[in-house]
């Protein structure tokens, strides 16, 4: 077996490790549930226990001697304070938790440029400001950063993607000067590296614990969302990924950054390119409101996806849209309602596909390249009739996603780091 790298994804319910060979082929994977180690999924020690088990599962499958590099992704916007040894000093504020101090939010909002991703009560920056007064705090880290610290001993680094919601400027490549005006002490901010950059070697004790070589390099990772994009195999400007989950999320590789806060669009720099995207309020939750899973499968099978149904729907469950139209009062458009349920379902599927089409057009209007291909992930990607509708409307190739596992995308960063370090 050739040299191996391992990508690690730490999520809301568990950890997954995926091993790739030098040809980017998945050769092993393993998972571990957070609930196997305790009742609190916010406990960093439980994160580490799940990560450790997932690494051990991969190593049992492939052996440890061929492993050359590892990288980690975590939930975007999850922040925790640590002391100089990396010991957590408080329970983390998770990616979806809001800072309740309205005065703090009102004070810092005018200081941030409109295009910054640090706006809002769930931003990493707001959470850092809440934590910096804790006694003995040395660094304010993101979830993936802390796991990296457990692997490498470096509890003072982050990556450009995780740093984005904490105020990092990816265009200038630095923490911006305006952050000091918020009152955040610069010494608490971690050093920022590009995803795929080598951080250092694995700690000897950790290498021994997992049966790995002592020269395994630990590579800067990314967020779970960026990792999921990379996992699909998308790699060239114009490659898009549509996530057809409860909502509709689009991401597109670009040669230039796109920042349009009025549409919730920000750009991550990754592997020498920019990843821009937006999220609509339409998606699977609308379908689930009208059809149970069995009805959805049964009715989908009766649809002819090759011919337009003639209904002009904008499927929403309540007024308000953010992307590709920004209108907090945009009403749902679900009339007329045909007598046949399969015709109604076809109208919904075509309506969501039309929003997807408009979303990629919006990204192009804002400076992204023209869409060249679409890879699909999420539950909706398994619906063949919907896929044919989308292919007809978007008019581009639909390559199969290489993997739907975020850890596989993070392993791609480990591969890049290992190559740059001359380990492959």
Q: How many other C-beta atoms are found inside a 10 Å radius of the C-beta of residue 398?
A: 16
Phi, psi of 239 (to 5 degrees): -75, 125
Separation between Cα atoms, residue 303 and residue 363, nearest integer Å: 30
- Cα–Cα distances (Å) from 245 to 96, 242, 376, in that order, read 17, 9, 10
Q: How many other C-beta atoms are found inside a 10 Å radius of the C-beta of residue 365?
A: 11
The reported pLDDT for the residue numbered 348 is 98
Q: Using the structure block, give the residue that is written with the tokens 């007598």.
A: 339
The reported pLDDT for the residue numbered 227 is 96
Phi, psi of 81 (to 5 degrees): -90, 140
| Complete domains list, the chain, with CATH | 4-226+406-420 (3.30.420.40), 234-394 (3.30.420.40)
First-residue to last-residue Cα distance in the chain: 13
Do residues 282 and 353 lie in contact, with contact meaning Cβ atoms separated by under 8 Å?
A: no
Classify 172 as helix, strand or coil: coil
Name the β-bridge partners of 33. 14
Give me 70's structure tokens.
Answer: 């590892």
Look at residues 116, 242, 115, 125 and name the one whose alpha carbon lies nearest to residue 184. Answer: 125
Q: Is the peptide bond before 336 cis (omega within 30 degrees of 0)?
A: yes
Separation between Cα atoms, residue 233 and residue 408, nearest integer Å: 9
Q: Considering only CA atoms, give the Rg of the chain.
A: 22
Give me 167's structure tokens.
Answer: 């105020």
Give the pLDDT means over successive 10-residue stretches in the chain (424 positions). Answer: 91 95 96 96 97 97 96 96 98 95 96 94 96 97 98 98 97 96 97 98 98 97 96 97 94 96 92 94 96 97 96 97 95 97 98 98 96 95 97 98 95 95 84
- How wide is the angle at C-alpha 345 spanned by C-alphas 342 and 347, nearest 5°? 115
Do residues 83 and 138 lie in contact, with contact meaning Cβ atoms separated by under 8 Å?
A: yes
Separation between Cα atoms, residue 276 and residue 270, nearest integer Å: 11
DSSP-derived letter for residue 94 is: P
Give me 108's structure tokens.
Answer: 């810092």
The whole-angstrom distance between residue 304's C-alpha and the CA centroid of its chain comes to 34
The reported pLDDT for the residue numbered 264 is 86
């Amino acid at each position: 077996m050739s040299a191996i790298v391992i990508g690690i994804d730490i999520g809301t319910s568990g950890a997954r490790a995926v091993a790739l060979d030098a040809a980017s082929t998945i050769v092993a994977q393993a998972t571990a549930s957070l609930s196997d180690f305790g009742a609190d999924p916010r406990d960093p020690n439980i994160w580490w226990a799940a990560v450790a088990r997932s690494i051990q599962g991969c190593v049992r499958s492939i052996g440890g001697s061929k492993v050359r590099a590892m990288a980690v992704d975590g939930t975007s916007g999850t922040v925790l304070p640590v002391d100089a040894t990396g010991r957590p000093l408080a329970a983390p504020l998770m990616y979806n938790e809001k800072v309740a101090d309205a005065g703090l939010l009102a004070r810092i909002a005018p200081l941030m440029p409109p295009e910054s991703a640090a706006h809002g009560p769930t931003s990493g920056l707001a959470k850092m400001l809440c934590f910096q007064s804790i006694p003995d705090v040395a660094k304010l880290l993101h979830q993936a950063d802390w796991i990296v610290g457990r692997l490498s001993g470096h509890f003072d680094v982050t990556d450009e993607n995780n740093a984005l919601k904490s105020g990092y400027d990816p265009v200038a490549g630095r923490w911006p000067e305006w952050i000091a005006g918020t009152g955040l002490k610069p010494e608490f901010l971690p050093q920022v590296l590009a995803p795929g950059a080598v951080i250092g070697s694995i700690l000897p004790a950790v290498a021994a614990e997992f049966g790995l070589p002592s020269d395994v390099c630990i590579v800067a990772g990314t967020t779970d969302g960026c990792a999921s994009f990379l996992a699909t195999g998308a790699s060239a400007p114009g490659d898009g990924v549509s996530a057809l989950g409860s909502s509709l999320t689009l991401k597109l590789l670009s040669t230039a950054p796109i920042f349009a806060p009025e549409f919730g669009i920000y750009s991550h720099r990754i592997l020498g390119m920019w990843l821009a995207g937006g999220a609509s309020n339409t998606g699977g939750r609308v379908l689930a409101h009208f059809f149970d899973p069995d009805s959805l499968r049964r009715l989908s099978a009766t649809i002819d996806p090759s011919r337009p149904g003639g209904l002009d729907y904008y499927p929403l469950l309540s007024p308000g849209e953010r992307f590709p139209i920004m209108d907090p009062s945009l009403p749902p458009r679900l009339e007329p309602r045909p007598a046949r349920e399969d015709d109604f379902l076809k109208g919904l599927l075509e309506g969501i596909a039309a929003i997807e089409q408009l979303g990629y057009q919006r990204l192009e209007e804002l400076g992204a390249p023209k869409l060249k291909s679409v890879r699909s992930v999420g539950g909706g990607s398994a619906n063949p009739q919907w896929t044919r509708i989308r292919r007809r409307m978007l008019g581009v190739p639909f390559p199969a996603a290489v993997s739907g596992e975020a850890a596989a995308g993070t392993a791609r960063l480990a591969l890049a780091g290992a190559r740059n370090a001359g380990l492959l």
